[in-house]
Amino acid sequence: MDEKQACAFRTSIGGQALIEGILMRGPEKQAIVVRDQNGQLVEKVEPLKLVKDRYPVLGLPLIRGTVNFLSAMVQGVRALMYSAEFYPDEDDAAPSKFDQWLEAHIPSKKLEELVIVFAVVLGIGMSLFLFLMLPTLLTGALLHFVPGFPLWGRNVLEGLLKIAIFLLYLIFCSRQKDIYRVFQYHGAEHKTIFCYEAGLPLTVENVRIQPRHHPRCGTSFLFVVIFVSILVSGVVFGIWPMTNPWWRTLVHLLLLPLVVGITYEFNRWVGRHVQESRLAQILTAPGLWMQNFTTNEPDDSMIECAIRSLELVIPDEKGKDTW
């Protein structure tokens, strides 16, 4: 079944693969469904609290992209931690003195929030280093031995390094055994959303035959972030030539909110037009191809988990989740 056949309408519902489970986020609430070690589905449903409801300015175009991205990261880390609780590491040693001190002096809820903040900051920091700082510094180091290299060539080389590092990162992650099942749940999430968008009953049989590559996937979003950053930095450095790698890195960081904002608006446009627009299909093709590394074919138990998580967030008012 191709993408045109699969999409009768587009939903704003999206998800994230967890450890033996799935997080689904709808317009009103989000649901975490995890299959525990006894094979039972454990459900956790929470109302969705949107920052833009309290601060409407954060819902404006170009601003909402960064806000929604950070919010999704925080909720995603929290959901991952929750799913990990069902599969504790049996080889863990006894708590260290530092762990015991933390438990004694910091309330568990506060400690959980601190861990989430640390994980989000660490994740963002690693992403910035790998996909932004490292290509810039490598380009500067390489071209140190090539005096007189044109600025446009520097921009192209830096952009190619960004894409290459991102691709190598995806390939590396896809080859990790522990990640394979997570990527199977990722495939189950995509297939289930496609089935829902096709207007078909949410059954294992209907979900199984759906595509596992979805145009509104986070993998595609990250690839477009990198591509947009190449275009934006190319324009900026074309107007204000700059060769010092540290200054270029600083400018990349300052441009990042704009890049994420543009990418988010692009993703919304693609979500609305990918079914009928040839241009949208061409622009999303690279991101869909990269999902070969981040989605795997799920088994039926994973599909059941994805179906249940989606059912829990479908709004009562028909059409409220239309993209």
Is 323 within the bounds of a domain? no
Q: How many domains does the chain have?
A: 1
Residue 13 falls inside a structural domain = yes
Q: State the chain's mean pLDDT as an integer.
A: 87
pLDDT of residue 2: 46
* Percent of the chain's residues with pLDDT above 70: 90
Distance CA 146, CA 153 (A): 11
96 pLDDT above the threshold of 70: no
Tens digit of each residue's pLDDT (9 = 90 or more) over 285-323 = 998 999 999 999 999 999 999 999 999 999 999 888 987
Q: What is the pLDDT of residue 4?
A: 43
| The predicted structure's pLDDT at residue 106 | 62
Q: Measure the CA–CA gap between 83 and 36, rounded to whole angstroms.
A: 9
Backbone angles phi, psi at 34, to 5 degrees: -125, 140
In a domain, 141, yes or no: yes
Tell me if 151 sits within 8 A of 241, measured CB to CB: yes
Query: Across residues 207-218, what is the average pLDDT?
Result: 92
Mean pLDDT is lowest, of 5-14, 118-127, 199-208, 267-276, for 5-14
Q: Residue 139: pLDDT above 70?
A: yes
Q: How many CB atoms lie within 10 A of CB 120?
A: 16
Cβ-Cβ contacts under 8 Å for 43 (sequence gap 6 or more): 31, 32, 33, 308, 309, 312
Sequential DSSP letters for 226-293: HHHHHHHHHHHHHHS----HHHHHHHHHHHHHHHHHHHHHHHHHHHHHTTT-HHHHHHHHHHHHHTTT
Whether 166 is covered by a domain: the verdict is yes
Higher pLDDT, 276 or 243: 243
pLDDT score, position 9: 79
> Average pLDDT, stretch 253-264?
93
Which pTM was predicted? 0.86
How many angstroms separate the Cα of 277 from the Cα of each of 11, 243, 270?
17, 39, 9
Closest CA to 305 of 56, 7, 15, 57: 15
What confidence tens digit (pLDDT) does each residue in 100-116 have?
Answer: 555 665 666 666 677 77
Model confidence at 278, pLDDT cuts 50, 70, 90, reads: confident
Burial grade of 301 (CB within 10 A; 0-12, 13-18, 19 or more):
middle
Residue 43 pLDDT greater than 80, yes or no: yes
95 in a domain, yes or no? no
pLDDT at 284: 87
Do the domain assignments include residue 295?
yes
- Helix then strand then coil, in percent of the chain rounded to 5, is 65, 10, 30
Residue 294 located in a structural domain: yes
Domain span holding position 183: 3-87+101-311
